[in-house]
């Protein structure tokens, strides 16, 4: 018997199973898109629970595919569910789910990497950055091929407070290859500590929730899958622009097994490399013989702050590109070698 005055929670009506949907619409996972379907609704429910309380929330699901996680989200009685799906083959099956949940689902056929998330949700949901996170969540079983570029893009959005974070500190619950999940959450000194660890953890609280064995997916990937939850921090741990932090961190991890000073060197042109590197390491109070994975967040903060000061003193420094300098040197050697060959030929002709 229903409780008087209390609206019954929404539940999806009986529908074909995910396997039946796959058969009905003749869906096959495409290897080139690194697609893997999750058919076990107990597992999709478990993923969705990591997002927290979703009743009356506004949710964006990335790459819903045949709709397993979509069903679990709808069964939490969300206010609105936005589905962004790049592969047109999945749209008819998602429309079936939309019809089963009238007024709750909006389907966008498009690429999440280019979709304008600033317009995805009602403006009244927006909160101040210092407030609690808005009642907005991003959930997705991401294709492996897009997961790393997408999280880097969204971390930049966190830093700039735009994209999905125009509304405040929007939370995300996403899947990654197990190894990527370990990198995202690796602590100082851990064997998986990487560029991704620093970029994620300086901007977000990152939790590796649980691991799904590869055999739970169809087709079965060669790796297990990690479910990772992100909550943007009120204050980033490194108070510098995203691109500057990314450049310093990427350089530091360029030579992962060498001393950290070896990677830091490539921030500077060859003509002043040793002097500038020594200055940076000394002013940042970082031991140059530490390996990159041994550097703490405090170390990276100091490095970024000092590097910023050096860039302010030399406007051309930030635009310096180590790889471009290598390419120019290579072209110069090639042209010099070619010129010498021509001179030798001319000398022979004159003999």
Whether residue 60 is found in the same domain as residue 84 = yes
| Predicted pLDDT of residue 135 | 97
| Predicted pLDDT of residue 349 | 44
Whether residue 69 is found in the same domain as residue 218 = yes
In tens, the pLDDT along 237-260 reads: 999 999 999 999 999 999 999 999
Q: Alpha-carbon distance 284 to 266, whole Å? A: 16
Query: According to the annotation, is 111 in a ligand binding site?
Result: yes
Whether residue 251 is found in the same domain as residue 136 = no
Query: According to the annotation, is 224 in a ligand binding site?
Result: no
| Predicted pLDDT of residue 219 | 79
Of 206, 232, 258, the position where a domain reaches its end is 232
Whether residue 148 is found in the same domain as residue 215 = yes
- Specify the residue for token string 């590109």: 321
Q: Is residue 189 part of a domain?
A: yes
Q: Is residue 1 part of a domain?
A: no
Q: Is residue 346 part of a domain?
A: no
Q: CA 60, 104, 44: angle at the middle one, nearest 5?
A: 55
In tens, the pLDDT along 314-336 reads: 989 999 999 998 898 888 877 76
Whether residue 188 is found in the same domain as residue 209 = yes
Omega of the bond leading into 14 within 30 degrees of 0 (cis): no
User: Model's pTM, two decimal places?
Assistant: 0.89
Q: Is residue 237 part of a domain?
A: no
| Predicted pLDDT of residue 329 | 84
Q: Alpha-carbon distance 160 to 165, whole Å? A: 8
Query: According to the annotation, is 38 in a ligand binding site?
Result: yes
Q: Alpha-carbon distance 79 to 135, whole Å? A: 10
| Predicted pLDDT of residue 80 | 97
Could you say which residues of the chain have pLDDT below 50?
1-6, 338, 340-343, 345-351
Domain interval for residue 279: 242-320
Convert the chain into a string of H (helix), E (strand) and C (coil): CCCCCCCCCCCCCCCCCHHHHHHHCCCCCCHHHCCCEECCHHHHHHHHHCCCCCCCCEEEEECCCCCHHHHHHHCCCCCEEEEEECCHHHHHHHHHHHHHCCCCEEEEECCCCCCCHHHCCCHHHCCCCCCCCCCEEEEECCCHHHHHHHHHHHHHHHHHCCHHHHHCCCEEEEEEEHHHHHHHHCCCCCCCCCHHHHHHHCCEEEEEEEEECHHHEECCCCCCEEEEEEEECCCCCCCCCHHHHHHHHHHHHHHCCCCHHHHHHHHCCHHHHHHHHHHHHHHCCCCCCCCHHHCCHHHHHHHHHHHHHHHHHCCCCCCCCHHHHHHHHHHHHHHHHHHHHHHHHHHHHHC
| Predicted pLDDT of residue 30 | 62
The CATH number covering residue 111 comes to: 3.40.50.150
| Predicted pLDDT of residue 347 | 47
In tens, the pLDDT along 262-279 reads: 999 999 999 999 999 999
> Are the CB atoms for 96 and 21 separated by under 8 Å?
yes
| Predicted pLDDT of residue 15 | 73
- Specify the residue for token string 């966008």: 108
- Specify the residue for token string 């980033």: 236
């Amino acid at each position: 018997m229903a409780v008087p005055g209390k609206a019954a929670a929404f539940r999806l009506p009986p529908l074909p199973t995910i396997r039946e949907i796959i058969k009905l619409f003749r869906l096959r996972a495409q290897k080139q898109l690194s697609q893997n379907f999750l058919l076990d609704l107990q597992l999709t429910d478990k993923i969705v629970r990591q997002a927290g309380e979703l009743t009356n929330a506004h949710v964006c699901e990335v790459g819903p595919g045949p709709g397993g996680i979509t069903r679990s989200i709808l069964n939490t009685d969300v206010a609105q569910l936005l589905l962004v799906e790049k592969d047109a083959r999945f749209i008819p099956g998602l429309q079936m789910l939309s019809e089963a949940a009238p007024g709750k689902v909006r389907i966008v056929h498009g690429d999440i990497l280019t979709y304008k998330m600033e317009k995805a949700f009602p403006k009244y949901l927006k909160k101040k950055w210092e407030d609690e996170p808005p009642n907005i969540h991003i959930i997705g079983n991401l294709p492996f091929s897009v997961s790393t570029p997408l999280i880097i893009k969204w971390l930049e959005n966190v830093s700039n407070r735009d994209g999905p974070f125009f509304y405040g500190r929007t939370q995300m619950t996403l899947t990654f290859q197990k190894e990527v999940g370990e990198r995202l959450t690796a602590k100082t000194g851990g064997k998986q500590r990487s560029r991704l660890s620093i970029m994620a953890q300086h901007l977000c609280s990152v939790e590796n929730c649980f691991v799904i064995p590869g055999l739970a997916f169809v087709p079965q990937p060669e790796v297990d899958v990690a479910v990772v939850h992100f909550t943007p921090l009120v204050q980033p741990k490194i108070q510098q622009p995203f691109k500057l932090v990314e450049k310093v961190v990427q350089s530091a991890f360029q030579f992962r097994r060498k001393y950290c000073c070896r990677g830091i060197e490539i921030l500077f042109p060859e003509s002043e490399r040793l002097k500038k590197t020594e200055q940076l390491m000394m002013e940042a109070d970082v031991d140059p013989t530490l390996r990159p994975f041994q550097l703490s967040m405090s170390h990276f903060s100091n490095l970024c702050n000092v590097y910023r000061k050096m860039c302010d003193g030399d406007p051309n420094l930030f635009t310096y590109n180590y790889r471009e300098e290598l390419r120019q040197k290579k072209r110069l050697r090639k042209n010099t070698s070619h010129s010498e060959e021509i001179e030798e030929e001319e000398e022979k002709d004159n003999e």
